Amino acid sequence: MDAAVKLFWQPGCTSCLRTKEFLVRKGVRFQSVNVHDDEAGREELLRLGARSVPVVAKGERFVFAQVLDDVAKFLGIDFHSERLPPAVLVERLEAILASAEEAVRALPEAALERTLPGRSRSYRALGYHVFRIPEAFLDALDEGATLLAERVNALPPDEIRTGDDIARYGAAVRARLARWWASGPDPTRPVETYYGSKPLHLVLERTAWHSAQHTRQLEMVLGMLGVPVPRQLEMVLGMLGVPVPRPLAPELLQGLPVPEDVWG
């Protein structure tokens, strides 16, 4: 294995999974460093100067891997991505959030504090995170502030306890998204983020596919992804066997750069 290239990641991280799939697809040999379980790897990541994953590194140089174009440029890989138009991204995101609202309502109260495999995020936090992603995006735009990983990954407040609480919060975020788009934002304007200054169009795309991927995970947790799931994986994920009221329509994911796998 070529240890010159390292991928720092953690379980359940959607961008980590997408980066891993990208490197494998491009034939890049890399050392996999799970910072959730590997304390030495976590310390190495901090020494590099990074505070979030995924990160692709070569020696003392690294790049945040939230955008595959950045990873390709860093590694000298020929790559070009096409993005759906902003209006389509907003339409898709609104539909994704609507599906997620129904999914979180279906989470049994007794299972809300159950944790996801390989990390400390609870089912309640996963459901909240689906909506926190676009809310953090909108907050950064409204405040003229940098979109920070800490804001995106914030835990649900104490008052958001039940699936119904999460769904009501999600409905408010979805309504806010619609109002923002109706105001006529400029999709070419730069947005400062924890992974660099990026066009709003790109950050909007990331917001849409990021929420979509976590909604796919939420559906898997509920136990009705729509594809056969091995019994061993079902046991590991602690799937609840609860039907998803409004599963994501496959066409909602078309053109979004979601990972091939749901969990990794």
More confident residue, 244 or 166: 166
> Is residue 131 a contact partner of residue 98, using CB atoms and an 8 Å limit?
no
Confidence of residue 119 (pLDDT cuts 50, 70, 90): confident
DSSP string, 51-85: -SS-EEEETTEEEE-SSHHHHHHHHT---------
**Poorest-confidence range of 49-53, 145-149, 209-213?**
49-53
The 10 Å Cβ neighbour count of residue 169 is 21
pLDDT reported for residue 239 = 58
On the question of pLDDT at 156 being above 60, the answer is: yes
pLDDT at 221 over 60: yes
Is the pLDDT at 84 greater than 50? The verdict is yes
The pLDDT of 248-262, averaged and rounded, is 94
The answer on pLDDT for 263 being more than 90 is no
Q: What is the pLDDT of residue 3?
A: 52
**Mean pLDDT (whole number) for 168-192:** 97
Bridge partners of 197, per DSSP, are: 192
Confidence (pLDDT) at 240: 63
Indicate the average pLDDT of the chain.
90
The domain ranges of the chain are 5-75, 86-253
Report whether pLDDT(210) > 50. Answer: yes
Can you name the CATH fold of 86-253? Answer: Four Helix Bundle (Hemerythrin (Met), subunit A) (1.20.120)
Tell how strand 5-9 and strand 31-34 pair up: parallel
- Dihedral over Cα of 226, 202, 86, 155: its sign: positive
9: left (phi over 0), alpha (psi -120 to 50) or beta: beta
Q: Where are the alpha helices (DSSP H) in the chain?
A: 14-25, 39-48, 68-75, 86-105, 123-143, 149-152, 163-182, 200-222, 231-237, 250-253
Q: Which two tokens stand for residue 171?
A: 């409905």
pLDDT of the residue at 49: 92
Is pLDDT above 60 for 5? yes
Topology classification of domain 5-75: Glutaredoxin (3.40.30)
